[in-house]
Amino acid sequence: MKVGLVYPPSLCRVNECFLLPGIALPAMADTLRRAGHAARFFDCDIRFHGTLRDPARRRDLALLSDPRAVPAFLRGQPAPGTARRLAAWQDAVMGLVPWEPCGLYQITLDDLIGDLNLAALIARGLKERFAAPVSVDYSRLGRRLLRDLLRRYPVFDYAIWGNAQGPLLRLAEHLEGRRAPLFRTLARAGTPAAAREGRAADPPGYGPDYSHPDYAGYPLAEYRVAPRDLLARYDIQPRLSRSLSKPGAGSGPELLVSYRFETTCRGACAFCDNDPARPSDRRGVARIVSDLLALRRLGATGIVFRNPSFNNDYRFADALCDAMIEARLGLPWSDYANLRELDERLLRKMRRAGAVRLDFGMETASNRLLRYIRKGITRQNAERYLRLSHKLGIWNQVNLIGGFPTETDTDVRETTEFLRRNSDCIDTYALNPFYLYPESPFYRQARRFGIRPLPPAPRPECLSADARAGYVTERFDEIGGLDWRQKDAQIRRSTQLLAQTIAQTSSFGAIDQEHLHLLMHLYRRLGHAQKGLIREIFLRCTRQFRPYHMPGFYQCDGYAKRNYTRLAGPRPQPE
């Protein structure tokens, strides 16, 4: 079967000036192609932002973010004055790429509010043009909310939850008539599979195995960014801009490509939905280096690894660094790194192999909470390696979570004091409120962790405007502690306090602002030894920049996170 892999336009990308090619579609293509199916890429996002997103369409872009307008249009009951406008949008988006007939179209969402409405218009256009079934996946939604999605948007025939690679392969086989039962897949009433809901467990051989992206046929060239265009988006002082624009090493166009060599993780963090018992799906060292060299031949100037962590296994990370150094790869890269499988020797080797940015999953600086969540590290070790990484010239990002179960004011204070003490060696932050996932040890072994899960929130909706955390996370009471109403308030308060601390010790933009193109360009031009200058330029530039959605455009803040992090206080004014 030929499967069309569709990436719809997104209205909700606000952190980057330029887009990165997504890894989801190439990973699905690899799974399908290895099973003998054909896969075609239809990346609407990059062309949408290059051709259709302009100030003249501001009013219509706001219409596309309306959670009611598009579903009403699909049901043939549009609000007055919207049918013509939405039909025009459908024609415009369908004209972005050269479509071709496929036996199944799979649309992968990156966010909900903007992506889903545009995805639905694409699905309507595909069904009108090719009369083929359309599936949709969004990894952050479970079965309850996907049922609501299928109800609201009658143009989708199937919806997949979790990692989509295995379920999509099974769905393709099912539609070929192999009588293959679905899993992690919902079917609309009236479709051939609607009589039975896909089971939650993965059957043997159909696991998430999406660690091996296949970019053959992907429009990577459209993602190249010229240095002049890159620097024009930031308020860089003329003197620095001239020096960065001079010919020399690293002065060519930037092309950052995502790559993953592993999805499994040996960690047993209690809050995570990872299964540490799952056999590793890691690729071998020789194959990884071969893949990276092939990406370099395609024009890649930097690699954005999407692994659970680069050093998930110490020995493997050590061997991979040796091979990357020996191959003279010469590509700067970023990835998650865990503090559990790390020492000074490996950290120095990762730098030699090209590491310019490491994202450390620390979560909290409370040693009590670190033991409670089974992180396998201490605050003291975290501080030691963050400082060493900074000394080596590596860009440090730290992940934090506010509002863990059993969290106390003392735990929060230990984290805020850690942030103040180490602000000179932490460059950027990822901050999230605590979410309770049904697949996590916290949920599956709730009593052991002092948690009492509660029934789901009533009437869940995939586009609910309700900002309560219970519409995103499973609700729970702490046994002998806070009830859910109190806990929800504490999650907000703790995350707000962390955000305020970061705002006080760093410039605005240090939270969830990666600016990977700028960062990689600075490292390619200046090198690890000039991290101090890189940090000065980066922090000055990101206080005020011109993102690709342009001033005045509609932008969404993230459907739940905004309600926790926006309370950090007023933004510091640029100097």
Q: CATH 3.20.20.70 region(s) of the chain?
A: 256-568
> Does residue 563 register a pLDDT over 80?
no
The pLDDT of residue 544 is 63
The pLDDT of residue 451 is: 97
- Residue 552's pLDDT band (boundaries 50, 70, 90)? very low
pLDDT of residue 342: 96
Q: Is the pLDDT of residue 483 over 50?
A: yes
Considering only 170-179, 219-228, 507-516, which range has the smallest mean pLDDT? 507-516
Helix (H, G, I), strand (E, B) or coil at 216: coil
Residue 548 near residue 49, CB atoms below 8 Å: yes
By percentage, how much of the chain surpasses pLDDT 90?
Answer: 61
Residue 236 confidence class, pLDDT cut points 50, 70, 90:
confident
Return the minimum-mean-pLDDT range out of 210-214, 325-329, 335-339, 414-418.
210-214
In this prediction, residue 199 carries a pLDDT of: 59
Instruction: Write out pLDDT tens, residues 262-292.
Output: 988 999 999 998 888 888 889 899 999 999 9
pLDDT for residue 572 is more than 90: no
Q: List own/partner pairs for 79-87 with CB under 8 A and 24 or more apart.
A: 85/60, 86/121
Check residue 321 and give its pLDDT: 98
- The pLDDT of 365-371, averaged and rounded, is 98
Residue 211 has pLDDT above 50, yes or no: yes
**DSSP labels, 482-536:** --HHHHHHHHHHHHHHHHHHHHHHS-TT-BS---HHHHHHHHHHH-GGGHHHHHH
Mean pLDDT, residues 230-255:
74
Tell me what pLDDT residue 507 has: 58
The pLDDT assigned to 545 comes to 59
Task: Note the pLDDT of residue 200.
Answer: 56
- Calculate mean pLDDT across residues 529-553: 70
What's residue 125's pLDDT? 97
Q: With bands split at pLDDT 50, 70 and 90, how would you rate the model's confidence at 465?
A: very low
Q: What's the confidence (pLDDT) of residue 466?
A: 40
The CATH class given to the 2-187 domain equals alpha beta
pLDDT at 265: 92
Q: Give, as one character, the DSSP assignment of residue 108.
A: E
Residue 51 CA to residue 9 CA, distance in Å, equals 11
> Rounded to an integer, what is the distance from CA 171 to the centroid of its chain?
25
Per-residue confidence at 86, pLDDT binned at 50, 70, 90? Answer: very high
- Residue 312 pLDDT exceeds 90: yes
Number of neighbouring beta carbons within 10 Å of residue 314: 15
The Cα 536–Cα 240 span in angstroms is 11
Of 27, 21, 85, give the one whose Cα is nearest residue 49.
21
User: Is pLDDT at 99 greater than 70 in this prediction?
Assistant: yes
- The residue ranking higher by pLDDT, 96 or 514, is 96
- Residue, of 21 and 56, whose pLDDT is higher: 21
> Which of these, 196, 206, 194, 195, lies nearest to 162 by C-alpha position?
206
Is the pLDDT confidence value at 414 over 90?
yes
User: Model confidence at 196, in pLDDT bands (50, 70, 90)?
Assistant: low
Average pLDDT on 342-347 reads 97
As a whole number, the mean pLDDT across the chain is: 85
pLDDT of residue 81: 86
Q: What is the pLDDT of residue 122?
A: 97
Check residues 214 and 49 and name the one with the higher pLDDT. Answer: 214
Q: What is the pLDDT of residue 558?
A: 36
* Maximum average pLDDT range among 346-355, 431-440, 549-558: 346-355
Q: In the CATH hierarchy, which fold is given to the domain comprising 256-568?
A: TIM Barrel (3.20.20)
More confident residue, 206 or 187: 187
Q: Residues 148-174: what's their mean pLDDT? A: 91
Contact 289, 324 (CB under 8 A): yes
Q: How far apart are CA 120 and CA 68, in angstroms?
A: 12
CA 559 from centroid of its chain's CA atoms? 14
Look at residue 178 in the predicted model and tell me its pLDDT. 81
DSSP string, 74-87: HTT-PPTTTHHHHH
CB 18 within 8 A of CB 553: no
Q: What is residue 565's predicted lDDT score, i.e. its pLDDT?
A: 36
pLDDT at 207 over 50: yes
Report pLDDT for 561.
Answer: 36
Residue 463 has what pLDDT? Answer: 58
Amino acid 437: pLDDT:
87
In this structure, the chain runs to a length of: 575
Return the percentage of the chain with pLDDT > 70, whole number.
82
